[in-house]
């Protein structure tokens, strides 16, 4: 049962996947007034597809997005052993060979990003107001402990609670740490200017990814029996220093294509130039020259221009809340894409935080302590996923101690490498976010009892 009077107002800076998920969760469990401030002229999304695994699916069900999927005739993932990904050695001109099959205990689904954003938008509560073309510049605290937000267009707004869901270049994060510096409350690990810079500024991962959606019809014309035309399995075409991920999304309407090229020396270096721009497909064709026919057919099917992304990651932050301000999603743990978990982790943050804030036990006075519970429950888990994702990138591109790719026929080593990959992936289908919520709820009850 929702209480009649709103206990506080929540401002969400950023209307991406994490911000929308938070608003939907808050709306489902409370009457809290929500304002979303989004810098873009409309709530939308750039980019292509994303894979949704069991933990993310559980949140989607909690938020009744499964019904939205039905309305859009999109199929659901299901329980049971599932061939999730095939690793295929492809950096040779002859036909490639499958070297490892990753079996999950739950199937995944591929969604177009726009579909997920649309479904979330359709579940936004009437208590939520969206303000577009509002780019936050900074915030500061009012004398009554509420926050004043300043936008780049000169306007201001106030809120009791402020959530930074504003992605890897988060303005909320910048302001939060500025505030901590001014108050002399920086954690010891961040006291040197170098460590602070490393934690706060996005770093280049050394990875360039070329992303596109392929029309299955185009691929069919080039290669009628291509293995991606008849299967939903994620294909991982691996080779030394590069790999390509491709899989059907939106029930086979498109093939999501991502080609990765890693500069090992580039990791942590400053990236000069634009992070994202369109480039002629010849650039990616050249990178994968000499790879097997199945890869060449995919490359040929690409449109003439392809999106090129310099993948950046966040520094590992030791904290993500301060008083009544919290960071979620890429604002706190932007990661590489190798375990398809950025959006999933963003949704887990949003779900746990949303449940905590909307709980009847959370009064305005105890919001800062409730946010600390969110931090305790989520931050180290998400930071572990950041590390897993990085390790997997090394493994896919045969740059890990498990397998360096030199001996193409050492089946024992390759099997060990595959099993190590499997064990890193397994968090995606073990447990449910509801377990984390139960832990958080228990902590909240203890807190409320202590404050009573
Ligand atoms: C190539 C690639 C492939 C990926 N594939 C997958 C996948 O398969 N599965 C998966 O789970 N994840 C995947 N991810 C990761 C996923 O896209 C992100 O982790 C996720 O989008 C993070 O959501 P977010 O809402 O936290 O941030 P964002 O999506 O970055 O949203 C932030 C929002 O805040 C707005 N904003 C920014 N600054 C301000 C400001 N100052 N004021 C107001 N608004 C602001 C932005 O316009 C944006 O709308 C992939 C990422 C990439 C780059």
At 319 the three-state DSSP class reads coil
Q: What is the pLDDT of residue 343?
A: 95
What does DSSP assign to residue 250? G
User: CA angle, corner 299, sides to 386 and 251, nearest 5?
Assistant: 65
What does DSSP assign to residue 53? -
CA distance 441 to 439: 5
Q: What is the pLDDT of residue 361?
A: 96
Mutate to test the pocket of ligand 1, among 258, 337, 340 (most ligand atoms within 8 A of CB): 337
Ligand 1 centroid vs 12 CA: distance in angstroms? 14
Ligand 1 centroid vs 111 CA: distance in angstroms? 15
Largest Cα–Cα distance in the chain? 71
Q: Which residues are paired to 149 by β-bridges? A: 139, 157
- What token pair was written down for 194? 């170098």
Of the candidates 310, 298, 283, the one whose C-alpha atom is nearest the C-alpha of residue 237 is 298
Ligand 1 centroid vs 167 CA: distance in angstroms? 6
Q: What beta strand segments (E) does 53-143 contain? A: 79-89, 97-106, 109-112, 128-131, 136-141
Ligand 1 centroid vs 5 CA: distance in angstroms? 33
Element (H, E) at 224: none
Ligand 1 centroid vs 15 CA: distance in angstroms? 9
Ligand 1 centroid vs 68 CA: distance in angstroms? 21
Ligand 1 centroid vs 382 CA: distance in angstroms? 15
Q: Whose CA is nearest to atom 37 of ligand 1?
A: 166
Cβ pair 308, 277 in contact under 8 A: yes
Ligand 1 centroid vs 451 CA: distance in angstroms? 37
Q: Whose CA is nearest to atom 14 of ligand 1?
A: 342
Mutate to test the pocket of ligand 1, among 13, 14, 234, 347 (most ligand atoms within 8 A of CB): 14
- What token pair was written down for 193? 């200017």
Look at the domain 10-202+314-451 and name its fold: FAD/NAD(P)-binding domain (3.50.50)
Q: Which atom of ligand 1 is nearest to the CA of 168?
A: 30
**How far from 94 is each of 87, 291, 292, CA to CA, in Å?**
16, 8, 5
Cβ pair 195, 45 in contact under 8 A: no
Cβ pair 13, 164 in contact under 8 A: yes
Q: Which atom of ligand 1 is nearest to the CA of 328?
A: 26
Q: Whose CA is nearest to atom 31 of ligand 1?
A: 16
Determine the straight-line distance between the first and last CA of the chain, rounded to whole angstroms.
Answer: 21
Ligand 1 centroid vs 395 CA: distance in angstroms? 25
Domain ranges across the chain: 10-202+314-451
Q: Whose CA is nearest to atom 48 of ligand 1?
A: 16
Mutate to test the pocket of ligand 1, among 47, 167, 204, 347 (most ligand atoms within 8 A of CB): 167
Ligand 1 centroid vs 289 CA: distance in angstroms? 31
Q: Which atom of ligand 1 is nearest to the CA of 17?
A: 25
User: For ligand 1, which residues put their CB under 6 angstroms from it?
Assistant: 13-19, 37-40, 50-51, 135-136, 165-167, 171, 209, 211, 258, 309, 311, 329-330, 337, 340-344, 346
User: Helices in 267-322 by DSSP H: which ranges?
Assistant: 282-287, 293-300
Q: Could you read off the pLDDT tens digit of each residue along the chain, which spans 452 residues?
A: 444 567 999 999 999 999 999 999 999 999 999 999 999 999 987 667 788 899 999 999 999 999 999 988 888 888 899 999 999 999 999 999 999 999 999 988 888 889 999 999 999 999 999 999 999 999 999 998 899 999 999 999 999 999 999 999 999 999 999 999 999 999 888 888 888 888 889 999 999 999 999 999 999 999 999 999 988 789 999 999 999 999 998 888 899 999 999 999 999 988 999 999 999 999 999 999 999 999 999 999 999 999 999 999 998 899 999 999 999 999 999 999 999 999 999 999 999 999 999 999 999 999 999 999 999 999 999 999 999 999 999 999 999 999 999 999 899 999 999 999 999 999 999 999 999 999 999 999 999 999 87
Q: Which residues are paired to 426 by β-bridges? A: none
């Amino acid at each position: 049962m929702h209480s009649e009077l709103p206990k506080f107002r929540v401002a969400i800076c950023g209307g991406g996947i994490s911000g929308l998920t938070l608003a939907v969760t808050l709306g489902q469990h409370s009457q809290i007034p929500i304002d979303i401030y989004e810098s873009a002229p409309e709530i939308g999304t750039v980019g292509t597809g994303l894979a949704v695994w069991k933990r993310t699916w559980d949140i989607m069900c909690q938020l009744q997005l499964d019904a939205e999927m039905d309305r859009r005739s999109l199929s659901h993932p299901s329980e049971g052993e599932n061939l999730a990904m095939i690793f295929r050695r492809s950096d040779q001109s002859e036909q490639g060979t499958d070297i490892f099959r990753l079996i999950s205990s739950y199937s995944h689904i591929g969604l177009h990003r726009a579909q997920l954003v649309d479904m979330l938008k359709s579940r936004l509560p009437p208590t939520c107001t969206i303000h577009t073309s509002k780019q936050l510049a900074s915030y500061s605290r009012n004398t009554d402990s509420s926050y004043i937000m300043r936008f780049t267009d000169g306007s201001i707004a106030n809120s009791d609670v402020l959530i930074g869901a504003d992605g890897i270049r988060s303005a909320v994060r910048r302001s939060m740490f500025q505030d901590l510096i001014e108050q002399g409350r920086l954690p010891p690990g961040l006291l040197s200017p170098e460590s602070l810079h490393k934690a706060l500024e996005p770093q280049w991962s050394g990875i360039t990814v070329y992303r596109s959606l392929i029309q299955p019809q185009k691929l069919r014309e080039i290669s009628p029996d291509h293995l991606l035309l008849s299967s939903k399995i994620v294909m991982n075409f691996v080779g030394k220093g590069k790999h390509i991920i491709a899989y059907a999304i939106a029930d086979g309407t498109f093939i999501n294509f991502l080609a990765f090229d890693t500069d090992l020396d580039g990791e942590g270096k400053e990236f000069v130039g634009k992070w994202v721009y369109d480039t002629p497909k010849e650039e990616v064709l050249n990178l994968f020259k000499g790879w097997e026919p199945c890869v060449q057919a995919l490359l040929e099917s690409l449109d003439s221009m392809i999106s090129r992304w310099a993948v950046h990651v966040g520094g590992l932050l030791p904290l993500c809340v301060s008083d009544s301000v919290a960071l979620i999603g890429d604002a706190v743990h932007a990661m590489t894409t190798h375990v398809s978990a950025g959006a999933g982790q963003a949704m887990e943050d949003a779900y746990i935080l949303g449940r905590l804030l909307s709980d009847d036990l959370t009064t305005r006075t105890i919001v800062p302590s409730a946010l600390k519970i969110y931090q305790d429950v989520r931050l180290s888990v998400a930071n572990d996923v950041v590390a897993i994702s990085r390790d997997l990138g090394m493994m896919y591109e045969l740059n890990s101690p498990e397998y360096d790719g030199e001996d193409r026929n050492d089946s024992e080593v390759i099997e060990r490498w595959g099993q190590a990959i499997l064990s890193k992936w397994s968090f995606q289908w073990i447990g449910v976010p509801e377990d984390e919520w139960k832990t958080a709820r228990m902590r909240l009850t203890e807190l409320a009892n202590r404050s009573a």
